[in-house]
Chain A
Amino acid sequence: MTGRSELNTLSYSEAFKDHLAHPRNAGELEGATAVAEQSNPVCGDRLRLSLIIRDGRIEAARFLAYGCPPTLACGSALAEMLKGLTVEDALKLTRKEVVSALGGLPSRKQHAAALAIETLRAAIQSNIGMS
């Protein structure tokens, strides 16, 4: 029941393990102006992102995540990257940038970064819908 390479903590970077052990910006955000929760329909991983966007800039970002460790770490890394970004720059963020913020991800876990970007775009979309 073990022995899958992706379960091996050695395949994760120090940055990754640090995000996992000490997640940044976890939780819900009071007064959020943008919220989205997306899930990977195949594996069931979920990511919830709350943002406070004012004057086209992300003032605060919080995340909640359920799923495999890369999904948790991507949520943490994303929330950390977002703070202070303009919405315009946030929309330019790519999967690759999330992955590199974590010091890389095993190839079979790249989908976690895709979920992060997808959730970010949905959240920003929700803000546009609100305003």
Chain B
Amino acid sequence: MRKVYLDHSATTPVDTRVVAAMLPYLTEKFGNASSVHGFGQEARAAADRARRQVAAMIGARANEIIFTSGGTEANNLAIRGVCELAEAHGRHIITSSIEHPSVRGAIESLEKRGWLVTRLPVYDDGIVRIEDVHAALRPDTVLISVMMANNEIGTIQPIKEIGELVKEERQRDHRHLWFHTDAVQAAGRLPIQVESLGCDLLSLSAHKIYAPKGTGALFLRRGVRLTAQQVGGHQERERRAGTESIANIVAFGAAAELASREMSERNQHTRRLRDLFERSVVQSIDDIAFNGDRERRLPHLSNISFRFIEGEGLLIHLDMQGVAVSTGSACSSGTLEPSPVIRALGRNEELARGAIRFSFGKDNDDQDVDYALAALQRAVESLRKLSPLSRQTVAVS
């Protein structure tokens, strides 16, 4: 059976060039970067090089990069780290209603401690409005955290505009205000220049850009301070204790360099496959709805709701045919958790439950699209035959 991986927003395979770059750091160059001897210095030099490579991908300085265990840790460090230190100046956070669970979770943990949170709506296109950010600002707002691009529907948020708003606010003497963006899905797919975006903190993950799982980074603008969440070591300039995973960091650096160099080529490729896929789906399957704005979104991603059927069944039907996709909804112990992202678009429960994310990668080809489409047609047809729901039983909105 052919295997077609269309879940690149979940994770990507490690690029063979990245594997080649990291391998020596698992064997002969195994030193601890904190050691004074030659082995340690070799590891230190490799981490420094990777730090420059990751910094270059986002237009930052090397000393503004903190390596972490991944995007989730970067988001936790950014949000809790900044807020804990800024508590004396205010306890209000502005965020969007479609953030990644790691951002949502970090903010909820502060909310439980009495912080106030404004969650901005995203309307039916899945995009935050700058006027809403402006209206939500309060004198005690200390953090704005809005993702650069959404992980389920790929919509691109107005980060540059929010950055400009933050700058204006600071000029009005609102000094204790910081701006964080989760760029885990955007990295390698959108050009990122932290200077022009105007963000103070930006989260990255290695495994979304063809490097291994287990490494990420937080960009922390020079002069911005935070409370370390991981203590008991002087690594990462006291901001993240723990021996650095040098091989993974080297891999992240190599992947970041490749992502910058090959971004437009990769985007062109995935956009062509994604658009071909979407055109074919429209032609061959009725009763579907695209989720999120179709212009302002990442080029590799498509999120589609299939009416009258449920995403998890569709996912498993596709998996049985070798096609890997994902769904945001889950039903467990008799309670349903429809994707909060799809619900935030104003979709009803039936459409939210029938949403599937297809995310293409640099190694997919036209045959993958053909195969996935045929598998999808079979799966949808089979599940709809079983469904008691139809145009007759459900109001088609």
Interfacial residues, chain A to chain B (CB-CB below 8 A): 1-4, 6-7, 9, 12, 17, 20-21, 23, 26-27, 37, 40, 42-48, 63-69, 72, 75, 108-109, 111
Contact = CB atoms under 8 A, between A and B. Distances in A.
3 closest cross-chain pairs (CB), A and B = A111-B334, A43-B336, A64-B388
A7 B312 contact: yes
A101 to B, nearest CB: 17
B282 to A, nearest CB: 23
Given A4-B332, A69-B312, 6 more contacts: A9-B319, A27-B385, A40-B334, A65-B386, A66-B309, A66-B310
Nearest to A48: B388
Interface in B365-397: 382-383, 385-389
A17 B382 CA distance: 14
Give the interface centre of B327, B332, B385 by most chain A CB atoms within 10 Å: B332
A contact face: mostly helix, strand, loop, or mixed: mixed
Contact of B316 (A3, A12, A46): A12
Contact of A45 (B317, B331, B386): B331
Contacts of B317: 20-21
Given A17-B320, A20-B317, A42 B335 contact: yes
Interface residues of B, number: 37
A20 B353 contact: no
Interface in B279-334: 308-310, 312-313, 315-317, 319-320, 326-328, 330-334
Interface of B: 7, 10, 151-152, 308-310, 312-313, 315-317, 319-320, 326-328, 330-336, 339, 341, 349-350, 353, 357, 382-383, 385-389
A96 B336 CA distance: 23
A111 B333 contact: yes
A22 B330 CA distance: 23
Given A17-B320, A20-B320, A21-B320, A44 B353 contact: yes
A43 B316 contact: no
B394 to A, nearest CB: 10
